[in-house]
Amino acid sequence: MANDGKIYITISDTRNGSGGGVSPDAENKEKKSDLLSDFIKHKFFNFIQSEAKQIASYTIGNIGNFNGNYQVQRDVTAAMNFLNSAINIGMAAGSAAVKYGAGGAIAVLAITTASEGIKFGMETYSDWIQNKRVNRDIYYARQRLGLDGLTNGSRSGTN
């Protein structure tokens, strides 16, 4: 297409007649289609992940109801909480390392570990308080019903 004396005609669907082969409109449509496809894939993955977590959480939360072993349910729940805390700490440190380097990773690691430790302490204390409350309620119910015959002599079973 140099100066060879010939006339070249390019047919294009663009308004400026640049003749680049693919019009900017078609390129934009392709990019939008790719973005939409990526968005749908992302949403579908998040949906599957969310449903899997919900099913696992439901199953773990009902171990005691399914087989009557509530201690196993508590142990599995504690292990899952520990695993989630470890994942949170690792992800926070990893993202800080990428963005801020080793110093940022160490700082975020310390802060996140302290936060998870405080959360664990609060949950443990809350469980302890709840256990004390249930035990107190059981004690008072026994007292009201006279079922505490071994310690206070009521309804000892003798006439």
Q: What is the predicted pLDDT for the residue at 134?
A: 94
Going from the C-alpha of 25 to that of each of 16, 31, 38, 82, 111, the distances in angstroms are 12, 10, 20, 52, 49
Query: The pTM is what?
Result: 0.53
8 A C-beta contact, residue 108 and residue 93: yes
Q: What is the predicted pLDDT for the residue at 106?
A: 92
Going from the C-alpha of 15 to that of each of 29, 30, 31, 86, 130, the distances in angstroms are 16, 19, 20, 58, 74
Along the chain (159 residues), what's the average pLDDT of each consecutive run of 10 residues?
A: 74 60 59 81 92 87 83 86 89 90 90 91 93 93 78 54
Closest CA to 112 of 141, 77, 88, 79: 88
